[in-house]
Amino acid sequence: MPTSLRDRVERYLNDAFLDSEIPSRLSEAMRYSLLAGGKRIRPVLCLAFAAACAPGREEETVEAALPFAAGLEMIHTYSLIHDDLPAMDDDDLRRGKPTCHRAFDEATAILAGDALLTDAFAHMASAKVPAAALLEAVRLTAEASGAAGMAGGQMLDLEGEGRKLTLEELNVLNAKKTGALLRNACECGAVLAGADAARRDAARRYGADLGIAFQITDDILDVVGDEAVVGKEVRHDAEAEKATWPSLIGLEAARKEALRYCASAESALDGLFSGPEADFLRATARKLATRTF
C-alpha cells in the first residue's frame, strides 16, 4: 500500500470529530474506534483508483478525493462497531483493542456508529470534485452501505446462523456484507476522477473480485489465524455455526478460491491501467490471498 496514501487518510481521520459541538463522550467513542489502527484498505483503494484514472494529475485528484475516501473508512468503522454489538456478533476485541461497547457502553457504541455513518456523508460531500461525479459517488455509496448492500448482507448473515447455506447463498451474502463497500471504494475512485466507462467498469470488477477474496481470507483467518495478529476474536464462525468458505468447501479449496479471485481482480486491470498506482493495485490483489491480518 503506498504509505503516502495511507498516511494521508490517517492524518485526515486524526483531525476528524474534534468539534467542541460534539458531546465529549460521543467524540471519544467515535475516535476510539476510528483511530484504533485499521488497514484503511477501502480509502486507499479509492484513492489509488482515483490516481490511476487521472494520469498526469494524480496529486490534485488524490487531494480532492481525500474527504470522500476518509468517509468510506468512517462507514466501515460504523459497520464494525455495530457488528460487534451483543445483538449482532457479540465480540470483545476489535483492531486489537476492546470493542467500542466494551470500552464505553452499548448505547454509546450504537450512537458512535450512527454518528460515524451520518457524518461520513458530510465528509464525502465536501470532496472538491465536479458536482455530477460527486453526486454519483455519494449515491453509489449510499446504495452499497444500505438495505440492498452492506446492511442487507448483515441481515442475511444473521438469518443464516445455524443454517447450512449453499455456496450460492454464501456468495450473495458476502457480496453484500463485505463486497459491496470494497467494490464501491474502487468504483467511486474511478467516478471521482472522471474515468471513462471502460476504466470505471474495470475498477468495479476488480473491487467485486477483491471483495470476495477478502471475505474468503477473513473466513480462513477465523479458522487458522492468530488472535494477536488478526486483532479480533477468532474461531467465532464455528461457534456461531456460520456458513463460511472453509466450512462449505474445506480450507485448501478455500485458499485456492481466494487465489483465483485475486488473479481475476488483477486481470480486470489489464490493458487499461499502468504506472505506480496500477502496480500497487496488482500487488494488493496478489498479497490479499495470503494475508495474515
Binding site for ligand GRG (CB under 6 A): 38-39, 41, 76, 79-80, 82-83, 95, 150-151, 154, 177-178, 215, 218
- Concatenating the DSSP letter of every residue in 256-291 gives HHHHHHHHHHHHTTTTT--SHHHHHHHHHHHHHTT-
When the beta carbons of 58 and 218 are compared against ligand GRG, the nearer one is 218
The minimum distance between CB 270 and ligand GRG, in angstroms, equals 26
When the beta carbons of 95 and 199 are compared against ligand GRG, the nearer one is 95
The minimum distance between CB 16 and ligand GRG, in angstroms, equals 16
Question: Alpha helix (H) ranges present in 55-166?
Answer: 58-84, 100-103, 106-125, 131-145, 150-160
When the beta carbons of 182 and 191 are compared against ligand GRG, the nearer one is 182
The minimum distance between CB 288 and ligand GRG, in angstroms, equals 10
What residues does 97 pair with on adjacent strands?
A: 94
When the beta carbons of 58 and 206 are compared against ligand GRG, the nearer one is 206
User: What Å distances lie between residue 100 and 42, 72, 111, CA to CA?
Assistant: 21, 19, 11
When the beta carbons of 58 and 89 are compared against ligand GRG, the nearer one is 89
The minimum distance between CB 82 and ligand GRG, in angstroms, equals 4
- Which residue is nearest to ligand GRG, using beta carbons? 38
The minimum distance between CB 76 and ligand GRG, in angstroms, equals 6
**Strand pairing category for 93-94 and 97-98:** antiparallel
Beta-carbon contacts of 176 under 8 Å, excluding residues fewer than 6 positions away, are 148, 149, 150, 152, 153, 156
What residues does 94 pair with on adjacent strands?
A: 97
